Chain A
Amino acid sequence: MKVLVTVKEVAAVEDDFEIDGLSIDDRYLEYDLNEWDDYAVEAAVQIAEAADEDVEVVAATIGPERSEETIRMALAKGADRAVRVWDDAIADQTLLDVNAKASVFEQVVAEEEPDLVLTGVQAADDALGATGVALANRVGYQWAAVVNDLDYAAGDDVATVRRELEGGVEEITEVDLPAVLSIQTGINEPRYASLRGIRQAQQKEIAPHDLSDLGLDAETVDGALELTDMYEPESESDATIFEGGAEETATELANVLRDKGVVGE
């Protein structure tokens, strides 16, 4: 069987940074594999390791050449090969919207024909949180979002998943394959890339594709969303210090929690 994992290189800003128009200069940024995708890769590799049959784990990303260094960490952790899609038309977008990403991954799925697609719930940078579900809709796969527990053995036709719903409620449900699952952090404990894995990853394939390779044209990635402004939101915090014995301060704390709506009446 084949598992496709969508992965993304995301940028995080340092403590002090400056915004220049619609972007932040590279010197303030650190690039890393999206945290949610790290869990998705681990879930895929665990399925492959536990399997009696051959399971191929393919990582797919939309990203510039620079992102190969990050994507290679997914290969070092056990993915077998990667597909990287990039194009001038993608670079020209101020913000790649969910539809555009789903269009690109739709073609990757058509080419790879995976039995299972794992995505992170969201990306740490734009946090749209919709790519996985949108992709499932495009390719007609079954889907489950925000999966925090997965019971699936390679070759099975059904995956049993636990998903997070609103308000702290969880549900356990079964999903027929082929399926797209968006993976929540905490579902497993992502491994460190082993030194042997890092060495082997240097020889693994990261196949570059542009839009025309996937049979898409530049307009495919023109989205309805445009980035118009970037600013740092003002943050406020205030601290209340309760003084006195445990009994009175506990009551005061309970009042505050009730007022703020943290606990019910």
Chain B
Amino acid sequence: MDYGLTQEQEQLREEVRRFAENEIAPVADEYDREEKYPAEIVEKAAEMGLTGAHFPMEYGGVGYSTLDMALVTEELFAVDPGIGLCVTSAGFGAEAIMEFGTEEQKEEYLPPIAEGEAVMGAAISEPHAGSDVSSLSTRAEKDGDEWVVNGSKMWITNGSIGDYFVVMCETDPDVGDRYTGFSQLLIERDRDGFESEKITGKLGIRASDTAELRFDDVRVPEENLVGQRGMGFPQLMQFFDETRTMVAAQAVGIAKGANERALEYAEEREQFGRPISEFQAIRHKLSEMHTRTEAARQLTYKSAWSVDNAEDDLTMLASMAKEFASDVATDAADEAVQIHGGAGFVDDFDVERLYRDAKITQIYEGTTEIQKNIVARELLDEGY
């Protein structure tokens, strides 16, 4: 058992933090307020290699492990979750291409993400299919050597700015089993019949682009099928452990950011003639926030390590990490605002932004309630 990060990981963390402090922190408020996608920052992040770091070398990446990616995510989210998500989500859906795509698909779709020339997305949720993913109704029908896609997708990260999407479609509605019959298709924005509408008014992560996608007789060639026909769900589920671990890392980052800001403010703010960090009520808050964050971090790192090294308890660990860390993040952001008092209730200090941003970690990639169901299901050995 080894509990330390390598020198490389320490350097990675420091340099990512330096990037976030210099390039993201000064403009985070502006992008949040205006709900604006930070294309220039994502480009700079790509120059540094942040957008496709987990891709293999031959496709423009660095081959970073899940733990490395968790460290990167944590540092970006500690500074600003909104823009942090824009950077880490540039390759959403790429896992499916890496694992199940053809050589041609990998060569065509992965390097542009790593080089900052394209952004992609994964399209699963629909207006009537959130947690119940098996009720999806976007259809893809075979017509000669093309797929014809009809339907709509909801809450799609990078939806109005992304260049291509891995879209979960029902291809074989007649099969009996509720988890087979779906396939993953690559759909490019410039196809006729593709429309997107940006969703505004989000509580948090407002710099990140979210949209509804609509497909009206969108035709794509049959070679846009990713992996096997009818195996969309089994292919997708393989990455839930990884993507949930990444949300846990986001949450650890948000908690870390909240803790740092709370500690700094408590040392500076004076009441009754001394810094409020001298009052026991504040000291206990700081102590608890940091302790719980460290616990969430260790659970997250173990889950990340398990993705690459030990798959046995991975599904349970990933759900535990995601569920616990997202609670810690929302609590830490809440306490950080409390410690700031009135100053935390306005946007002079960015704990207000973190407070709003934290909530999403309890919702996306499977709600807290779904994660608890998964943990129980794994404990009781019930299978899917």
Residues from 193 to 243 in A contacting B, C-beta threshold 8 Å: 193-199, 201-202
Whether A192 lies near B62 (C-beta < 8 A) is: no
List the A side residues contacting B47 at CB < 8 Å. 191-192, 194
Whether A196 lies near B49 (C-beta < 8 A) is: yes
> In the complex, what distance in Å separates the CA atom of A129 from the CA atom of B255?
42
Stretch at the interface among A68-76, A103-111, A133-141, A165-173: A68-76
Interface residues of B (CB under 8 A from A): 7-8, 10-12, 15, 18-19, 47-50, 53, 62, 64, 72
Whether B12 lies near A198 (C-beta < 8 A) is: yes
List the B side residues contacting A197 at CB < 8 Å. 49
CB distance from A77 to the nearest CB of B (A): 10
CB distance from A7 to the nearest CB of B (A): 15
List the A side residues contacting B12 at CB < 8 Å. 195, 198
15 pairs from A and B in contact (CB 8 Å cutoff): A72-B7, A73-B11, A73-B15, A76-B15, A192-B18, A192-B47, A194-B47, A195-B50, A195-B53, A196-B62, A197-B49, A198-B8, A198-B11, A198-B15, A199-B62
CB distance from B61 to the nearest CB of A (A): 8
Residues from 40 to 88 in A contacting B, C-beta threshold 8 Å: 69, 72-73, 76
| Contact of A72 (CB < 8 Å), options: B11, B50, B64 | B11
Whether B19 lies near A192 (C-beta < 8 A) is: yes
> In the complex, what distance in Å separates the CA atom of A191 from the CA atom of B47?
9
CB distance from B54 to the nearest CB of A (A): 10
Residues from 146 to 198 in A contacting B, C-beta threshold 8 Å: 191-198
> In the complex, what distance in Å separates the CA atom of A196 from the CA atom of B19?
15
> In the complex, what distance in Å separates the CA atom of A97 from the CA atom of B298?
46
CB distance from A101 to the nearest CB of B (A): 26
Interface residues of A (CB under 8 A from B): 69, 72-73, 76, 191-199, 201-202
CB distance from A232 to the nearest CB of B (A): 19
State the total of A-B contacts with C-beta under 8 angstroms. 42
List the B side residues contacting A201 at CB < 8 Å. 11
Closest A residue, CB atoms, query B10: A69
CB distance from B341 to the nearest CB of A (A): 22
> In the complex, what distance in Å separates the CA atom of A72 from the CA atom of B11?
9
Whether A199 lies near B10 (C-beta < 8 A) is: no
> In the complex, what distance in Å separates the CA atom of A197 from the CA atom of B62?
9
| Contact of B7 (CB < 8 Å), options: A193, A195, A196, A202 | A202
List the A side residues contacting B53 at CB < 8 Å. 195
Whether B62 lies near A69 (C-beta < 8 A) is: no
> In the complex, what distance in Å separates the CA atom of A73 from the CA atom of B50?
17
Whether B10 lies near A192 (C-beta < 8 A) is: no
CB distance from B64 to the nearest CB of A (A): 7
Whether B11 lies near A193 (C-beta < 8 A) is: yes
List the B side residues contacting A192 at CB < 8 Å. 15, 18-19, 47-48
> In the complex, what distance in Å separates the CA atom of A197 from the CA atom of B15?
11
List the B side residues contacting A72 at CB < 8 Å. 7, 11
List the B side residues contacting A202 at CB < 8 Å. 7-8
Closest A residue, CB atoms, query B64: A195
> In the complex, what distance in Å separates the CA atom of A194 from the CA atom of B49?
6
> In the complex, what distance in Å separates the CA atom of A192 from the CA atom of B12?
11
> In the complex, what distance in Å separates the CA atom of A164 from the CA atom of B49?
35
> In the complex, what distance in Å separates the CA atom of A124 from the CA atom of B10?
23
Whether A195 lies near B49 (C-beta < 8 A) is: yes
List the B side residues contacting A199 at CB < 8 Å. 8, 62, 64
> In the complex, what distance in Å separates the CA atom of A193 from the CA atom of B62?
13
CB distance from A40 to the nearest CB of B (A): 18
List the B side residues contacting A76 at CB < 8 Å. 11, 15
CB distance from B262 to the nearest CB of A (A): 17
Closest A residue, CB atoms, query B268: A15
Closest B residue, CB atoms, query A200: B62
Closest B residue, CB atoms, query A197: B49
CB distance from A159 to the nearest CB of B (A): 28
List the A side residues contacting B48 at CB < 8 Å. 192-195
List the A side residues contacting B11 at CB < 8 Å. 69, 72-73, 76, 193, 198, 201
Closest A residue, CB atoms, query B53: A195
List the B side residues contacting A73 at CB < 8 Å. 11, 15
Q: Which of B7, B15, B47 has most chain A Cβ within 10 Å?
A: B15
Whether B7 lies near A69 (C-beta < 8 A) is: yes
Question: What are the 6 tightest A-B residue pairs by CB atom distance, in nearest-first order?
Answer: A195-B49, A194-B49, A192-B48, A195-B53, A195-B62, A196-B62
